Structure 1
Amino acid sequence: MQSKAATILGFSLILGLAALGFLVQQMAVKFKEYERVVNVKGLAEQEVAADTVIWPIQFTVADNQLGSLFETLEQQSGLITAFLQQGGVEASAISRAAPNVIDKKAQQYGEGDRAEFRYIASQTLTVYSKDVAKIRGLISAIGQLGRQGIVFNQDPYQNRVEYSFTALNELKPQMIEEATKQAREVALKFAQDSQSQLGKIKTASQGQFSISDRDANTPHIKKVRVVTTVEYYLSD
């Protein structure tokens, strides 16, 4: 009886171990299926018009007398301000920086007594506006003040007009949806080509939004861009 019981127990253990091995094997196969993934990226781009402009207007005056130098600065600053206000720019949108005055005779390595004018002064008026179209029109027309003796500094680096786009939050949901949809289309194509089925999302990450000029000649047109990265499971 004891021998028979031992035989039955041993046979049962063998069957149990075989069943356990089969289950472990099936789980391993299933686990490996879940490890098959495809990593894709989706891109969304959109062109938008800038909604804010910062326009620095710098002009220069030269004279041999400080008194008349500052009088000319004040006069020309008034002419520029009047031009802007006549063009529809409110006074609150115009700020004036302190003038920068250079004394040629006070410079150790300057032209000294050979300079035609002892004093050279520059002043900058800055316009901050949300009406980009209006300011662009004024930028094109301000050159006519040169007929009244105003000398503008046209340095493209120090006096560069800056355009920006501030309504990014309004575009984010739509662009993220577009980028994610594009990523899924790429993943579906990959799955079809590899004779697989596209499963659920394993991981997803959103890249940073970037805003840049469309090109060097149209800085008032901005290109908004975002890239999303999505990882999908694949199955047979």
Structure 2
Amino acid sequence: MKRNSGVIGGPAAAAVLGLFLAAGMTLAAGLLGDAAEGLLASRRVVTVNGFAEREVAADLAVWPIAHSVSGDTLAEVQEQIADSGALIRDFLDQQGFDAHEISDSVPRIIDYQTQLPGLPNPPPKRYTAESTVTLRTRNIDSMKAAMQAASRLVGRGIALTRSYEATPRFMFTGLDALKPQMIAEATVDARRAAQQFAQDSQSRVGAIRTARQGYFSISDLDAFSPERKTVRVVTTVEYFLVD
């Protein structure tokens, strides 16, 4: 008679092995499903923009006062342009501006006879000289008052010229002091938008995944108030959503 070696063989062994394999596969599938569900949940995000805006006053102004003269000789136009420049500086001095706020450009002289020969309607004088006295100040109100009184210069015989380069400009230079608080306000605004989205999708706002600070822009408040500025910033924030 042969002894039983204790090893199960035949159909019974295959059945037991199949049960173990099935149980293992079921457990593995459950674990993988839980992992996949967790991974998908961790990837649920919402991207929102946050906005912040401030109205500020310009703190720096530049007023280029362009003027021109004409004459038949170089000596004549050089003397005239120097005289009109001196009158403009005297005017600004009377308006209360300091000498360090005022600067002069090098005169630009046009000789119509040599530089622009053959003009169909040449000017009566051979030479024209143009120059600019520039006021650069932080006293915005005083500059606005001086601009309103600029007609006095014309009354003293100064030919003021208008051009894009001679347009008064008002600027705001205090942006760095505003940046931290405005970025914080924009971030709060972004989270508010994310919370509304999460509420609509029956979720909660989680941690920040990514955040990108947008650029700051400074523009005139309107076409009639260049001394008032609007500062804006937009941030883009990506939040995780949690069930």
- Structures share a fold, TM > 0.5? yes
For 1:216, the equivalent position in structure 2 comes to 223
- Judge which range, 19-28 or 53-62, deviates more: 19-28
Contact 1:214–1:223 (CA under 8 A) maintained in structure 2:
yes
Aligned to 1:233: 240
How does 1:152-191 map onto structure 2 within 5 Å?
A: 152-155=160-163, 157-191=164-198
RMSD after superposition:
2.2
Query: Cα–Cα, structure 1 residues 49 and 87, in superposed 2: closer, same or farther, change >3 Å?
Result: same
Measure the CA separation in 2 of the matches of 1:111 and 1:9. Answer: 109
Q: 1:204 maps to what in 2?
A: 211
Kindly state the Cα deviation for residue 13 of structure 1 after the two structures are TM-superposed.
5.3
Going by fraction, where is helix more abundant, 1 or 2? 1
Displacement of 1:20 in angstroms is 2.9
Verify the 8 A CA contact 1:59 1:152 in the aligned structure 2: yes
Deviation, 1:14, is 4.6
1:52–1:163 contact (8 Å) kept in structure 2: yes
User: 1:72 is matched with which residue?
Assistant: 80
1:177 positional shift: 0.8
Q: For 2:206 and 2:81, how far apart are their aligned partners in 1?
A: 71
The answer on whether the counterparts of 1:41 and 1:227 sit within 8 Å (CA) in structure 2 is yes
Gaps of 5+ in 2: 1-5
Q: For 1:214 and 1:109, locate their aligned partners in 2 and report how far apart those are by CA, in whole Å.
A: 47
1:64 counterpart letter in structure 2: D
1:83 maps to 2:98:
no
Query: Secondary structure of the residue that 1:115 maps to in structure 2?
Result: coil
TM-score using structure 1 length? 0.90
Which residue of 1 is the match for residue 8 of structure 2? 3
Note if 1:108 corresponds to 2:152. Answer: no
Q: Provide the C-alpha distance between the structure 1 equivalents of 2:120 and 2:75, rounded to a whole number of angstroms.
A: 22
Alignment match, 2:3: none
Aligned residues: 234
Q: CA-to-partner distance for each residue in 1:195-228, whole Å, 9 max, x for gaps? A: 2222222211111111122222222222111111
- CA contact under 8 A between 1:210 and 1:225: conserved in structure 2? yes
Structure 1 runs not aligned, ≥5 long: none
SS of the aligned residue for 1:95 comes to strand
**Distance in 2 (alpha carbons) for counterparts of 1:79 and 1:138:** 14
- The one-letter amino acid of 1:218's match is S
In 2, the alpha carbon distance for the partners of 1:96 and 1:141 equals 20
What is the CA distance between 1:33 and its match in structure 2? 1.2
Cα distance in structure 1, aligned partners of 2:156 and 2:206 = 72
Q: Which 4+ residue blocks in structure 1 deviate beyond 4 angstroms?
A: 6-14
Q: Is the 8 A contact 1:47 1:221 kept in 2?
A: yes
SS at match of 2:38: helix
Superposition pairs of residues 18-37 of structure 1, within 5 angstroms: 18-37=26-45
Partner residue, 1:117: 125
- Contact map agreement 1:45 1:226 (CA 8 A) in 2: yes
Instruction: Provide the C-alpha distance between the structure 2 equivalents of 1:46 and 1:53, rounded to a whole number of angstroms.
Output: 19
**With structure 2 as the length reference, what TM-score do the two structures score?**
0.87
Preserved contact between residue 105 and residue 111 of structure 1 (Cα < 8 Å):
no
Matched, 1:97 2:105: yes
Note the alpha carbon deviations across 1:160-214, whole angstroms, 9 max, x for none.
1122211111101111111111111111111111222222222111111111222
- Contact 1:210/1:226 (<8 A) preserved: yes
Q: Once the two structures are aligned, what percentage of the paired residues are identical? A: 41
Q: 1:235 Cα shift?
A: 2.8
Q: Which deviations, in whole Å up to 9, do the C-alpha atoms of 1:53-111 show, x marking residues without a partner?
A: 12111111122233232222221111110111121211112111111122232231236
Question: How far apart are the structure 2 equivalents of 1:120 and 1:154?
Answer: 15
Quick check: 1:50 aligned with 2:58? yes
